[in-house]
Chain A
């Protein structure tokens, strides 16, 4: 279980240079008193705009950075002060940074990890052959890492992060820079790892589709503040962004005046609709007053939902 209480991290940012000597330093709060708990087996998406504090949180969870306040406990361990012990049970993947040996082949890195994590021979062989199979590493097994494509390398990185069979997997933008097909493949793999081995996954990303497809729970952070923690559906419900409704009507439509953004095209009528503003009754009225042949409701794109949340956070 990951328990985070009042977690805080400040950075010193050099101010503008004024004269030769005075160079003021400003404190910038990267993570501001956040709280959350992640239970074993959860797959949690952690989203926020650039510089929101996502990576900083991950770095504190993995024991790289020392928090300036609050506590992190992972199965009761303090990741910074009990770093080595905590490391044994976690796998980490930074999308923008490689942990493979650049000029060597994949199996060289894996062999080193075997010894670093002191994985017994049999267990190592079994684990490696499983990972080779699900991540389809065989096609580029013999090539030096520098010659791999981004998607291939990322599969190699995933295997490196999972080789010692960790219970926790932290992914910092694992799909960054990938094309649609490769993204899809990585998502499938993450889902499979989560289901198969019950690995707890915390995933930061800018690609909201990652979160929609994978995560049962999502946390939104901006300016170091945790703005939302809950299900994706609840997030949609909370946000004022509009859904759009399209109905096909037999005969002359009779529409209430308060409908917004109405467009007519023959028998097809479309208008905007927001659950948030209590327009449910309005929709019911439209349906009862007309002979509706067909109806479709398009949810707002999740980007809109999140943009609203980010902007709301900024205003705070």
Chain B
């Protein structure tokens, strides 16, 4: 079965990534370190003065936000697809993808799943370990809310995926996508993965709402934390689906134009 071939590619790319296990260990240590620093900073802030009125949320909520975001951010991320395409274009390896009776984008996505799993597995472990260390986090208000959170998480991944594919198509026009990547890393600050968006001034929040980034990670997070009515949840889904369709059409349009420009470098 053809679909199985894509699973195999994901599995092989995970297996290949694991060859570099020393990289892996330093990545895990770095992740733990980053999380501990964030938690310490919030702990210090909240315990020096009563910070809740300023922040609008309690210390517990803040800790929950960061820990759950560890999962949400990693799950919804589709990072690396544009970079992989760029690298395969500049090394000429793209040619070998085009020789297969398969969709080149399918191959890219399947490979990215392998890498995704590579990063996601430790983030789940770190999450559970941290929950034990801090002595528990807030849970979703009901199984219904939890289900909505999971669904929204999947939609969030699709937003990032379609956005990443839009980015990837730029590789057809500029063989170097690196500059673009810097540009995008600026926007990740507006996605809610680093700082909760409720801390932003209202004009910046308005800017964020007009961009797809917050719909990927911040919307699922808000659903998790609760306080959203069923109507609000449905409208949040609507926003997510809107971005998915829009970005999907955009990347399809760009891809059809871009693939004519493929140049295979290196002989």
Contacts and interface: CB of A to CB of B under 8 A. Distances in A.
B99 A64 contact: yes
B125 interface: no
B92 A97 contact: yes
Contacts of B4: 115
Contacts of B100: 87, 116
Interface stretch (B8-16, B53-61, B65-73, B162-170): B8-16
A66 interface: yes
Interface stretch (B39-47, B201-209, B243-251, B258-266): B258-266
B2 A111 contact: no
Interface in B1-42: 1-2, 4-5, 8-9, 12, 15-16, 19
Interface string A74-117: 00000000011101101010101111011110001001100111
Contact of B5 (A96, A116, A172): A116
B19 A84 contact: no
A71 interface: no
Contacts of B259: 66
B143 interface: no
A102 to B, nearest CB: 7
Contact of A111 (B8, B19, B98): B8
B2 A103 contact: no
B144 interface: no
A63 B262 CA distance: 11
A100 B92 CA distance: 14
A102 B16 contact: yes
Contacts of A87: 99-101
A234 to B, nearest CB: 29
Contacts of A115: 1-2, 4-5, 8
A96 B262 CA distance: 19
B262 A55 contact: no
B227 interface: no
Nearest to A172: B267
A148 B8 CA distance: 23
Contact of B102 (A84, A101, A103): A84
A11 B16 CA distance: 35
Nearest to A146: B19
A112 B101 contact: no
Nearest to A173: B267
Q: Which of A55, A66, A112 has the most CB of B within 10 A?
A: A112
B126 to A, nearest CB: 26
Nearest to B20: A103
Contact of A103 (B5, B19, B101): B19
A65 interface: yes
A116 B264 CA distance: 23
Interface string A267-307: 00000000000000000000000000000000000000000
A83 B259 CA distance: 12
B12 A112 contact: yes
B93 interface: yes
Given A11-B263, A59-B264, A84 B101 contact: yes
A165 interface: no
A205 interface: no
A62 interface: yes
A118 interface: yes
Interface string A243-275: 000000000000000000000000000000000
Interface string B94-116: 01101111100000000000000
A66 B95 CA distance: 13
B8 A59 contact: no
A59 to B, nearest CB: 6
Contacts of B93: 97
A264 B99 CA distance: 59
A169 B15 CA distance: 30
A116 B101 contact: yes
Contacts of B16: 101-104
Interface in A117-171: 117-118
A63 B1 contact: no
A97 B95 contact: yes
Contacts of A64: 95, 98-99, 262, 264
Contacts of B99: 62, 64, 87, 90, 92, 99
Nearest to A51: B267
Nearest to B95: A64
Nearest to A117: B101
A172 B95 CA distance: 12
Nearest to B13: A101
Nearest to B104: A83
A96 B4 CA distance: 29
Contacts of A90: 99
Given A11-B263, A83-B98, A87-B99, A118 B2 contact: yes
Interface string A196-238: 0000000000000000000000000000000000000000000
7 contacts: A63-B98, A65-B264, A103-B15, A104-B12, A111-B8, A112-B12, A116-B5
Q: In the A-B complex, list the 3 residue pairs whose CB atoms are closest, starting with the nearest.
A: A115-B5, A87-B101, A84-B101
Given A103-B16, A118-B2, 19 more contacts: A64-B98, A64-B262, A64-B264, A65-B262, A66-B262, A83-B98, A84-B102, A85-B101, A87-B100, A87-B101, A88-B101, A94-B267, A99-B99, A101-B12, A104-B16, A112-B12, A115-B5, A116-B5, A172-B267
